Structure formats: C-alpha cells, structure tokens
Structure 1
Amino acid sequence: MFTAQDILDIAIRLEKNGEKTYRDARLHISGDALKTLLAWIAQEEHNHARWFTELKNRLTQGEDHHLMAELSRALVEDVIQGQAFSLEEVDFETIDSPDKMLRTFIGFEDDTIAFYEVLKTFIDETAIAAQLEQIILEEKKHMATFQEMLAGD
C-alpha cells in the first residue's frame, strides 16, 4: 500500500519534471510566443510542486493523518504504469518538429490530469480537494493551450 507521502512524492516528481521539461524545451525552440508560454507553464508547475510539498509536510507533521488512508495499491499502480512517460525526462534530440513537441506536452499534461483525478477521489477534506481541483483545471488549461497551438499549425 502506498502511503499518502508516497503519492504526494509522485505528484511532486510529476510537477518538478514538468517544470524542468518546459524550461529545457525553451532551449530547443525559436518562437517567442511558445517560449513565453512554456515559461508561464513552468512557473505554474513549480507552484503546483510547492503546494504538494506543503501538503506532504502537513502530513509528516501528523496533520490530516486520515488523508488517503484507504488508497489501494493496485489502483495507483495502474495509474502510475500508464504515466511512465511523465515520470521520465524528455529527450529533445528525438523531437524533430514543433508538432511532435506539442504532442509530447499534451501527453504529459494528460498523464498528470489522469493521476490527479484518481488522487482526488481519495481526498475527503474540502479545502484540499478544492485546491487539487484548481490544479487539475490549470493542467487542463495547459493541455488545451497546447492543443490550440497544434491545431493552428
């Protein structure tokens, strides 16, 4: 069984990987609009990681001990297995077009959303659930923006 801290470690890792990926991607593109977008999304990912870290610290200090206590290992493993891509670094040497880069980012955001949707079902504290829902909405906005850019090419 995963602990709440384990799950939050995964969320933190997803967000930090996203931040790093978007910052690294800026070095491999030439368009100012996409560079600006990636910088903004990287900052949002940084903020999400900070929120998950603060939540983990609360759990470590003994608060919210009931949070996600019933989390099933099998369910989480199923979700995590489908997200191996998001937990790995992106190899920009294999991305040979802006469309492929955008599709890569869409996949990353989709994986993250799927993980957070499952995570949300185990949270019974209204304030924490509301903040996680806000993060999900932000991740969906990132994905929609990438999809719009892809459609515009």
Structure 2
Amino acid sequence: MPEDFVAPKLFYAQLARIRQGAGTLITSPDGRVVMCDVTYRDYLELPSGAAERTNRHRWRACGRDGRNSVSTSRSGVCSSLIIKSTEAQGNSVMFVYDGGVVVEESALHPAPSDEGRGVVLVDPKNPSSVTISLLADRIRHALTARGTGGVVETVNGESR
C-alpha cells in the first residue's frame, strides 16, 4: 500500500456532514397540497422526516413519515425524486419526492399525536400563506417538476 493511503473509516470520518431531510409532495384529487399541522412548528410542513445517521438511504425519512401521514396512489416508498434543494443556512440538503395523489378522503384525517394536530389541504397557488418561504418555493418547484415529469434542483429557493 502507498504511504499516503487513508483507511476508509478514517477517510469517511473526515468528510463534512450536512443535514438532510426529505418531504413528500402529496396532493388531493383536485390538486391541493397535503400539509401537516405539526406541534413543533408554527407553520405547516410537508409530510416529511429528517434523515438520521441510521438511515442508509435518505428517502427512508420520506417513506417512513410520508406513508404514516396519508394513503396515496403510490404504493411502497416515495421513489420519484422531483426536487433537490440546497440551502445556505446550516449546510442542509432537502429532497422532495412525489408521493402521488390521496386515494381516500378518510386518509386525510389521521388521529392527532404528540407531533401532529392533523392534515390541511393547501391551495397550490399560495403555499406561502401557511409556511416558510423556502418550503413554499420547494412546493412550487415540486409541482412544476411533477407536471413536466422532470427533476428540479434549487439553491436557496431558486432553480438552477
């Protein structure tokens, strides 16, 4: 082995760490965006989750929390990436996956829990009325990506 060889465990330990989260774009049959009224924020969130160190794949946060929120037309995990958003504050990368369309009206009424008060259907033209601007931008870009069948990458809310 060359003298400057770095063992994989040491190499990976030296790499920068970033925060990752994944959200699920779920819509109602009439196009409204499904959002969660969570107890730990003063604004609405997409069904989402933070990627934890134990997650081998970042989409597991989306799959775990998105599937727990509502039943949609997509089976299994939210597998279709429609937006990758990089934000300057705190070195974070957020992913939004296409969770499909709600299949049952009753799915929109999950029981309140320690983390959530319920689900709210939001006008897709005005998400900024119920959430922070970066998330509203993500939602708008995700809807565009879903409509075009493409993928969008954003930096601080602006598409690249």
Instruction: Please tell me the TM-score bracket, short chain as reference.
Output: under 0.3
TM-score, reference length from structure 2: 0.26
Q: Which has the higher helix share?
A: 1
TM (norm. structure 1) is: 0.27
